[in-house]
Structure formats: C-alpha cells, structure tokens
Amino acid sequence: MADAMLGSGALAEQPVLLSAVPAEASGGPAGACDAAAAGDACGPAGSGPAAAQAREQPVLEAVLPAPAEEQNGTDSAKAPKVNCEERNTTGIERFTLQILNVSQDLMEFLNPNSSDCTLVLFYTPWCRFSASLAPHFNSLPRAFPTLRFLALDASQHSSLSTRFGTVAVPNILLFQGAKPMARFNHTDRTLETLKDFIFNQTGIEAKSDVAVTEEDWEGPLPSVLTKGIDWLLLFSVLFLAGFVMYATIRTDSIRWLIPGQEHEHQE
C-alpha cells in the first residue's frame, strides 16, 4: 500500500513505519527542504491547489528508522562531562608538573571556589608501573597548557590516598576545584590514552605537536625505580614480632585468649 501511494518500490526492501499525518505536518527540520522533493515542493506552505488538497486529506508517510550514523553521531558532539575553566597562560614560558613533598597538602593547591581543572597523579617511586607512566605524564603539561598537573607520593600522603580511594598506584584523578570528577581506569597508560581521557572528560583538545622527549624521561617525575623503606610495613612487622615474643614469654598470662584453655585451667 505504501509503495502504491508513494509510487516507488525502493522502500519495500527495508522495514518502514507508516503514520497518517497531514502532509504539511511532516517531521522534517525547520527551514530545510526534503531532499527527495523537487520543484515547488520547497516553496511556502499553502501555495497552490495541490497544497490545499494536501491539507484536506491525510496521506501515508513512510517513517524510516534513523541511520546508525545519525544515532551515534551525538556521541562525538555531546557536551563535555566536566566544564573546566581554562587558566590564563600569559607570561608562562615553561609548562611542567609540580610534585608535592611530604610537608605539602594537596588541598592547598586546589581551590574549592574555582572551576579550573587539575590532573593529580598518585604514585610511588618504587612501583614499576609508576616509573613507566612517568615520561608520558611529564609531557602532559605541554599538551594541555591551560590545565594544571600535580603528582604526589602516595606512601607519604596516606591520608589523601585513603580519602580518595587510592588502593593501588598509579592512580590518576581529574579534579574540578577541590572535587574529584573522574578517574583514569585504562591499563594502557600512554600519552595518547591520557590525551583521549582528558578530551573526553573536558572537551579540551591537546596540542598535536607534543610528544614524549628525552627530557620527559629524566623528570620531574622519576622514570627510574628508586629503592626506599616502607616505614609502615616495617612498623607492622616489628609490632607483629614483638607481640609474638610477648605471647611466648607470658604464655600463662594469655592462656585465656586460647579457646578451651580456660576450662582446663579451672579443673
């Protein structure tokens, strides 16, 4: 029936939805003409006897499903998840990241009343994954000069690691002001994947001419593993060893800790 009304058999090869609507109320975009129309069909509505007849009786229109390209086209054009206020780079000659020492607090570098964005890296100098990420993260400030980049040793800032749920390193968080907005969860930690992550979250495009250089391998974030003492682990081992020694010496005093020993002692 649709083929007979439209005068074409091309639509019979694909599924269609038929709707009885007046011709002038078609769902096309405002200010645009149907590509299949010709001649006076693109003129003003209500001109000529043909238009008057179309207003009087409804016609069957073929409503085709939207192509996949149009349905998925909004993914690339959608608004960024985080609206970052880009900082003024006037007078800044060198763009580099800043590493916080043990006496510096992250909250001192994040302004809760601002909408500027900061990418923060939680790392440890003895982790090989942090070392392999270092040169790529060192090059990010040049790729995104309007953003800020910070890095801190998670073993020296255990309270911050607990606060922001850092259970493993390296861990990368995107902050807007003082609020964490997104976490980098890819296992492939390269400059390109970091660029894509920042672009997908903020809509800010990276400079295309930025690449990892030899200077990025040298610092400021170390790309060579350094041996250090995990004082927390050392303290835990010493505490456990001291408790075992105390329990061995004072067996009678802690007999009540062992299930069943209390009844044997009373008998």
CA–CA separation, 140 and 210 (whole Å): 8
Sign of CA dihedral 73, 76, 77, 80: positive
CA–CA separation, 183 and 166 (whole Å): 10
Angle, nearest 10°, between helix axes 191-202 and 128-143? 60
Q: Which is more confident, 9 or 34?
A: 9
| Mean predicted lDDT score pLDDT of the chain | 73
Give the contacts of 150 (CB within 8 A, at least 6 positions apart). Answer: 97, 98, 99, 100, 106, 109, 118, 119, 120, 121
**Poorest-pLDDT segment among 8-17, 88-97, 129-138, 141-150:** 8-17
CB atoms within 10 A of CB 191: 20
CB-based burial label for 160 (10 Å; 0-12, 13-18, 19+): middle
Coarse DSSP helix, strand, coil percentages of the chain, rounded to the nearest 5 percent: 40, 15, 45
Residue 135, Ramachandran bin (φ over 0: left; ψ between -120 and 50: alpha; else beta)? alpha
35 pLDDT higher than 90: no
CA–CA separation, 174 and 179 (whole Å): 8
| Tens-digit pLDDT profile for residues 114-124 | 889 999 999 98
Sign of CA dihedral 190, 191, 196, 201: positive
User: What DSSP letter does each residue of 27-69 carry, written as one string?
Assistant: -PPTT---TT--GGGGS-TT-SHHHHHHHHS-EEEEEPPPPHH
Whose CA is closest to 148, among 112, 179, 182, 175?
Answer: 175
40: confidence class by pLDDT, cuts 50, 70, 90: very low
**pLDDT for 32:** 38
**pLDDT for 39:** 41
**Poorest-pLDDT segment among 4-13, 21-30, 92-101, 202-211:** 21-30
Under DSSP, the state recorded for 204 is P
CA–CA separation, 118 and 85 (whole Å): 10
**pLDDT for 252:** 62
Give me 237's structure tokens. Answer: 């081992």
Q: Are β-strands 117-123 and 148-153 bridged in parallel, bridged antiparallel, or unpaired?
A: parallel
Output the pTM of the full model.
0.56
| Most confident option among 6-10, 101-105, 251-255 | 101-105
**pLDDT for 52:** 44
Show me where the domains of the chain are located.
Answer: 98-218
Alpha-carbon distances of 232 from 1, 123, 229, 235, rounded to whole Å: 79, 16, 9, 5
| Tens-digit pLDDT profile for residues 220-251 | 998 888 776 667 778 889 999 998 888 787 76
Q: Which is more confident, 254 or 146?
A: 146
**pLDDT for 139:** 94
**pLDDT for 49:** 46
Q: Which is more confident, 51 or 170?
A: 170
**Poorest-pLDDT segment among 6-20, 61-75, 130-144, 213-227:** 61-75
Percent of the chain whose predicted confidence (pLDDT) is above 90: 28
CA–CA separation, 136 and 221 (whole Å): 10
Question: If you classify domain 98-218 with CATH, what class do you get?
Answer: alpha beta
